[in-house]
Structure 1
């Protein structure tokens, strides 16, 4: 799986994505990407499908366990349709979604409850 991310301006961009295992991606999400609005992790499967996990808000300083916060936008860009399928999820749901992506790929068709928005 190819991965790219942004952690406050650090990390490989889409054009420079790197091959990583699921364990490596999990560590990047858990340990490297801070819960700051605008930070994200993207994965591209071998069919060219992409999923992005984007912090739509930051984790408040006073929160110790942020797993319940629904501040991550899961986004599936579809260039041909000039838009994305997406939904908001909790931080705690992301590792499970990453596991699904490694199992079935990053096609929006493999996920439920998505809505489409044009760019």
Structure 2
């Protein structure tokens, strides 16, 4: 799977993604700063994209922030001119990354998503 991300402005862009395996993808997500605007994205072999975007900063006073629902899961669909998305917790992202590696980025495989037009 190919990946792109921005960790405080650092990382490969979506037009120049890098190949990562599942462990590398999870580690890249885990090593990222929990800062509003930072994101991590995956592109499957069919060219479909899933993105995880911090909608808020992780507050400094949290030792364990896994329960915070401050990550937007977003699956853009160019052909429909919109995205399937939902807010998820930080702790859910590893499982969602594993799911993407397992089944690809098929929005129907990710429960609870809502579609929004651009």
TM-score (norm 2): 0.98
1:35-74, aligned counterparts within 5 Å? Answer: 35-74=34-73
> What value does the CA root-mean-square deviation take over the aligned residues?
0.6
| Alignment pair present for 1:13 and 2:13 | yes
SS at match of 2:29: helix
SS at match of 1:77: strand
Gaps of 5+ in 1: none
SS at match of 1:29: helix
Shift of 1:15: 0.5
Within 1, Cα distance between the matches of 2:3 and 2:110?
A: 19
Within 1, Cα distance between the matches of 2:108 and 2:61?
A: 37
CA distances 1:71-101 after superposition (whole Å, capped 9, x unpaired):
0000000011111000001000000011101
Gaps of 5+ in 2: none
Within 1, Cα distance between the matches of 2:77 and 2:108?
A: 11
Within 2, Cα distance between the matches of 1:92 and 1:64?
A: 13
* 1:25 corresponds to: 25
Question: Conserved in 2, the CA contact under 8 Å of 1:50 and 1:107?
Answer: no
TM-score (norm 1): 0.97
Runs (4 or more) in structure 1 with deviation over 4 Å come to none
